[in-house]
Structure 1
Amino acid sequence: MRLPILLIALGLTACGGSTPPALPADLPLCAPEAAPLRFDGRVTTADAKTYRLQPFAVAPGTGRVELAYGWSESGALPGTPLTATMLDLGLWDADGYRSPAGFRGWSGSRQGRIDLGQAPVFVEAARAERGYVPGAIEAGVWHAELGIAAVSPQGAAWTLEIDCKAAAGAAPADDPVDPTHVARAGPAWYHGDFHMHAYHSNANAPDWTGFVAQARAAQLDFLMVTEYVTGEHWRTLGAVQRANPDLLIWPGREIITYFGHASTHGETPSTIEYRHGFEDVRLGEVQRAAVADGALFQVNHPTSFPGLLFENFCRGCEFTLGDDIDCSQVDTIEILNGPVMATAADLGIPVPGLQIENPFMRTAIRLWDERLAQGYRITGVSGSDSKGTEPDDAERARRGYGSSVTAVFADALSRPALQAAIRAGHAYVRTRGVAGSPTLEFRATVDDGQTAIFGDTLRIGETQTARAEVTVRAGEGQRLYWYRNGTLVASTAIDADPFSEVREIGRHLRSEGALGTMWRIETGDTASRTTLGNPIFLAPP
């Protein structure tokens, strides 16, 4: 809050006098020692994918605000995973429900549930519930937010309770990471998980020490901390970075809309929005603000759980906002989200013992190929989407942090070096993590001295060729696949370790897109793909 606004809102004068803030007389007043406020309402299918704000006045002297909520299905039929009502909870303070400064937290549908017997979420000056932001409890108009993610056919009734209490304590000092930190000097392949939830994304997630321990066990070098919606960790991870100087802690967030999810890698102080479709909020504007703040912008699991049948099972997971964003400002896209080997539980289908290659990987790769053909230089990456709550080592290896990784060839283990390498496409995905996947080298050369690795472009004529060489380590018994403009054109048995293959590659004018002819490699076995490379492009001189 800017100083003049603060003075007016709190009734202060430049001479130091003060009066209690004037609160709207028509709003329910939340005050210490007073009875909690209670609000009730109903939602129908017409309300799905919208937001409902409940304003209330916070009285002077309040030091803690608590929220609890719940809902029940109307009618006799119980909800199913595909049809149940789902409501999300958020909170905005007196700085306003459209201001980044006013955002006090979001917990989706996982916390503060009266109907599940959970404790309320809370904010105080010195501390807050996971997913929420500590800070001064200013008197004025606050807003509780109900996100109406999904509604069952029969509708539902909801309840919201708000309680204000006195509490002591001062707001903690900010301690962000140093964005210029160099964890390791020198060019190398560095491994990261591009979609990691942590302390603020799940009530059972590990603390930061446990988070780092799991990341180290997965042999990660850089940690993309993409908490749901909130940026609270942007202010607090400095101590974690200093305690782990050999790793790179890279805070971001996941933008949860009801029409698709995206991530920003890097702090975005000018925007905390996620409510696409609410008032005039658009994801495209959020993207523009985030990119202006210096963050990478990523499209998450773009083809997961598509269509009306699955939208309640994984609400907003399919990315349907391609026309709203600027694809030229998309840096990365998840071509693999979650485990490469999916179970029936992962897919929400009743087939005991089922385990297949993640079906959404193939469709995500197809979409990625289409975007590349259209001329958008988007780097393919993977993300575990883990919350660090896997019950045992086997499940942690299958779907935990680093269960898939993206190897990035960068000049150093630093944010600037990684940003440059990621934007250049110097990367490939290892679908079974560092320990379980082959390694790849992919290099192409032209007689005039041009060289390229993953993501690079060689300029050659229509009848020229380039010499492409692939080296695979730890892949014996698998196969090497060559793709040209998204079409499989060759495969070879990997019968040695290390294994190398050389192939003359050229342009294919009938199928090449705006970036030229794309040559991409993969490896795989009978169960699934094990690596996925970003392409080398052959373009006109």
Structure 2
Amino acid sequence: MTPFHALPVHLRALVLTLPSLALLGCGSSAPAPTPFEPQTDAVCVPGGDTLAFTGTVARSDAKQYRLQPFDVAPGTTRIELAYGWQESAGLPATPLTGTTLDLGLYDQRGIRDGFRGWSGSRQGRLDQGQPPVFIQADAAERGYMPGAIESGLWHAELGVAAVSPQGAEWRLEIRCSGEATAGSAAPDPVNATHIARGEPGWYHGDLHMHAFHSQPNGPSWEDFIAQSRAAGLDFLMVTEYVTGQHWKTLGSVARAHPDLLIVPGREIITYFGHANTHGETPGLYEYRQGFEDVSLGDIQKKARAMGALFQISHPTFFPPPLFENLCRGCFFQLGDEIDWDAVDTIEVLTGPVITQAEDAGLPLPLPVGIENPFMQSAIDLWEEKLLAGHRITAVSGSDSKGVEAEAVRDRVGYGSSATAVQLDALSRDALFAALRAGRAYIRTRGVDDSPELRMTATAGNQSVTFGGTLATAIATLRTEVLGGEGQQLRYYANGRRMRSVAVNSDPFVHEITINDLADAGPLGTFWRVETADLRARTTIGNPVFLKPRADGTNPPQ
């Protein structure tokens, strides 16, 4: 079964149109297997026998981490791991009910500090005839970190992402060898102070991009850059799954493309929600929410202390319980674990804004494209947090792993949507400051196929744009739409649609009077705009805030 996270985002959304799947494989009365028990006294010797471990997982083991210890003998220079599983007897599993086990590796430094890689369920699968994952001093499988192989107690990790009703049997194989290697390469990180372009202006980026380390067939770095340029992107947020190996190697890529801003980060895959951290956080590779005392809140705190942005990813994707085996941890359930005041950005659009059956090549009952079914619920969550006083910037991300077919690249690849950010210069410091300030809007169909927005709120001698606050109870909101003729301009206040007007020219300029409302939250009343055509939204703007002074005085109108 193809791992769900390896499918394109548009195909994931299309699963919503297959309700019949929910009826398959349910209601099994097969007995639960015996829970996982680690096997001990295993020594991995260079050139020795392959270590083989077997066991079972039950439904009650889901969303937990199981560690298999093994000793690495002196003289080992390479370790290989392969694993697989099969469903126990019972009704056939479906994408909505099947088992998924993830693979990770920890070295002799221990199960907290010894992270050496994670590949989810994508690689090293015995049950799919894949080659093992490997790690050695000078090279490693995608998602894993090369480096010296020290003798001592190592651990293979089986993440029990999901388990079918009847349970599953698993097998893990580990082999050690002592062949000579070429030594370790020196780290070559991106220069975090690089200024790609010194001019102020609107720049575009994708805040959820997977590349070389996120799948076995991920694009080369040059192809990653070529696809990003084709989408008109200026800043590239490289959020590989869990690992940080790209933090150490993207320097040469950045130097070869000095006009682009490359920001390495990672996607933190927990079984209760996903988050992106933008920016390197050396030594912070944790992702195992609920393992011992690990919490996403602690990961968030540490990441931000290192200067990274913290982003909630696709927060309303595939809600449980129906979809929790299909998209493990995609739906965000950790709101009580994190500090919402320390959330910088939230992904309100993930993947293409239009879902089309033709993209997946499936004969599904979608004669025309429909709006991404998870976008409105994500916007609702964002606006709920704004009303509660949490200043969070709405962004979008493709969640793409790269595509090869030119015919679908514009729609489902990098930059299928783009976040436009107003910057003083194209640098990491300027980008992070602007995103935290909310000086951004989303172009849902990418740079080439979405309108441009300009918005200014004015009261007396005060004037702000996206993300700004006016100390007043009333203001004039001026919006300019470029390239949106024939669409609608919509106004929202505190999450409610207040007005819609036809965009009947290009450029189109419209002004309304906005005011503070009785249901304002701690941030004040927030007003925002978006554009839409008959099928879906085409832009989504971050708001301006009206917050009258406590003494009741306001600027002259």
TM-score, reference length from structure 1: 0.92
Alignment of 1:379-458 (within 5 A): 379-388=393-402, 390-447=403-460, 449-458=461-470
TM superposition shift of 1:169: 2.0
What is the 5 A alignment of 1:24-423?
27-99=41-113, 102-167=114-179, 168-343=181-356, 351-353=364-366, 355-388=369-402, 390-423=403-436
- Per the alignment, residue 485 of structure 1 pairs with 494
Q: Is residue 467 of structure 1 aligned with residue 476 of structure 2?
A: yes
Residue equivalent to 2:539 = 531
| Per-residue CA distance 1:263-308 (angstroms, 9 max, x = gap) | 0000111411000011111110111110111100000000110120
SS in 2 for 1:290: helix
Tell me, in whole angstroms, the C-alpha distance in 1 between the residues paired with 2:358 and 2:546.
42
1:189-229 CA-partner distances (Å, limit 9, x unpaired): 01010000000001111110000000000010000000000
Q: CA deviation at 1:540?
A: 1.6
The alpha-carbon distance between structure 1 residues 424 and 347, as it changes in their structure 2 partners (threshold 3 A), is farther
**What amino acid is the match of 2:397?**
G
Q: What code does the residue aligned with 2:422 have?
A: F
Rounded Cα–Cα distance in structure 2 between residues aligned with 1:466 and 1:372:
20
For 2:301 and 2:354, how far apart are their aligned partners in 1?
A: 35
344-353 vs 307-316, greater mean Cα deviation: 344-353
Q: Deviations over 1:462-519 (max 9, x none)?
A: xxx211110000101100000011101110111100000011111112x211111110
Instruction: Kindly state the Cα deviation for residue 346 of structure 1 after the two structures are TM-superposed.
Output: 8.8
Q: Aligned with 1:253: secondary structure? A: strand
Shift of 1:403: 0.5
| Displacement of 1:353 | 3.5
Measured against aligned partners, the alpha-carbon deviations of 1:400-427 in whole angstroms (never above 9, x if no partner) come to 1001000000110000001110000000
SS class of match (2:407): helix
User: Would you say the 8 A contact 1:479–1:524 is kept in 2?
Assistant: yes
Identical-residue share of aligned pairs (%): 62
* Alpha-carbon offset, residue 110 of structure 1: 0.5
CA distance in structure 2 between the partners assigned to 1:381 and 1:348 by the alignment: 29
Contact 1:196-1:227 within 8 A present in 2 as well: yes
Q: What amino acid sits opposite 1:490 in the alignment? A: R
Offset at residue 243 of structure 1 (A):
0.1
> Shift of residue 31 of structure 1?
1.1
CA distance in 2, matches of 1:313, 1:106: 19
Q: What is the deviation of 1:97? A: 1.3
Secondary structure in 2 matching 1:407: strand
Are the structure 2 counterparts of residues 412 and 307 from structure 1 closer, same or farther at C-alpha, using a change threshold of 3 Å? same
Whether the 8 Å contact between 1:270 and 1:289 is mirrored in structure 2 is no
Deviates more, 1:525-534 or 1:344-353: 344-353
**Which residue number corresponds to residue 17 of structure 1?**
none
**Aligned-pair CA distance for 1:391:** 4.3
How far did residue 445 of structure 1 move?
0.8
CA distance in 1: counterparts of 2:104 and 2:359, whole angstroms: 27
Is the contact made by 1:270 and 1:293 (CA closer than 8 Å) also made in structure 2? Answer: no
SS at match of 2:434: helix
Q: Secondary structure at the match of 1:308?
A: coil
C-alpha contact (below 8 Å) 1:192/1:223 kept by paired residues: yes
User: Mean alpha-carbon deviation: is it higher for 317-326 or for 166-175?
Assistant: 166-175
Alpha-carbon shift at residue 103 of structure 1 (Å): 1.0
Gaps in structure 2 of 5+ consecutive residues:
1-38, 550-557
Normalising by structure 2, report the TM-score: 0.90
Cα distance between partner residues in 2 of 1:56 and 1:396: 44
Residue-by-residue CA offset, 1:367-390 (whole Å, 9 max, x unaligned):
0000000110000000000000x3
Are 1:520 and 2:532 matched, yes or no?
A: no
Q: Any idea what the Cα deviations from partners look like across 1:19-77, whole Å, max 9, x if unmatched? A: xxxxxx96311011101100000000000000100000001110100000000000142
Supply the RMSD in Å over aligned alpha carbons.
Answer: 1.5
Asked whether the 8 Å contact 2:40–2:70 carries over to 1, the reply is: no
